[in-house]
Chain A
Amino acid sequence: AQTVTQSQPEMSVQEAETVTLSCTYDTSESDYYLFWYKQPPSRQMILVIRQEAYKQQNATENRFSVNFQKAAKSFSLKISDSQLGDAAMYFCAYRSRFNSGGSNYKLTFGKGTLLTVNP
């Protein structure tokens, strides 16, 4: 079974600064997807960024980018030019690419990192 670990329960950053959230995962699979989801106080789960394991290039979405280290099983999220609206709980998640006993249907989540943005 896959596991996802977020070792930082809380992080804070000054507005306009850069912050990196850490995520490690454990899997025996070679092909999978990794995600970062944002959960603001409204509790809506919002997809921030997605990475395919077979792609070596790190995904980027505007101010959000990832550092995907497949051998180290590490998937960190970098937020540049932090904004007050970035304050939220951030979840790292894993999904198998191929079906093995229904495993590719589910997302496996970490416990989350609460990001505070200070003005």
Chain B
Amino acid sequence: NAGVTQTPKFRILKIGQSMTLQCTQDMNHNYMYWYRQDPGMGLKLIYYSVGAGITDKGEVPNGYNVSRSTTEDFPLRLELAAPSQTSVYFCASTKDRGGTDTQYFGPGTRLTVL
């Protein structure tokens, strides 16, 4: 049981490039989340999904897109990278909203946009 896994661990992008951050969980969790953590700050929610085929915006969705074609995978897409997107990105999951309410986090992806 690997929990929540994220790839890559590190990435440097040039302005205007695009990339996809991968997130996979093997706990059969329905709910998945993407957060970003800027230096000296707590995490802010970018997007979340309550199940396959269902996604919704969080606090800071601009510049990102997501999809949820399977229960296990929840990729985050950056289409036109900007320096403001330099951050550490965390994926998380929960079984459901009324259960333990404990979010399990992946190890994070450190992204730098130059």
Contacts and interface: CB of A to CB of B under 8 A. Distances in A.
Interface in A67-114: 91, 93, 95, 97, 99, 102, 104-112
A47 B42 CA distance: 14
Contact of B42 (A4, A44, A50, A105): A4
B74 interface: no
Given A33-B101, A45-B90, A99-B97, A105 B31 contact: yes
A25 B59 CA distance: 18
Given A43-B107, A44-B108, A104 B97 contact: yes
A104 B96 CA distance: 11
A4 B42 CA distance: 10
Chain B interface secondary structure, helix, strand, loop or mixed? strand
A43 B33 contact: no
A107 B97 contact: no
A43 B88 contact: yes
A56 interface: no
A106 B42 contact: no
Contact of B103 (A42, A102, A107, A112): A107
Interface string B99-112: 00111110110100
Contacts of B104: 47
B33 A105 contact: yes
Closest CB pairs A-B (n = 5): A109-B42, A45-B105, A106-B45, A43-B108, A109-B43
Interface of A: 4, 33, 35, 42-47, 50, 91, 93, 95, 97, 99, 102, 104-112
Interface of B: 31, 33, 35, 40-45, 48, 50, 56, 58-59, 88, 90, 92, 97, 101-105, 107-108, 110
12 contacts: A33-B101, A43-B110, A45-B43, A47-B104, A102-B56, A105-B33, A105-B45, A105-B48, A105-B97, A106-B33, A106-B45, A106-B48
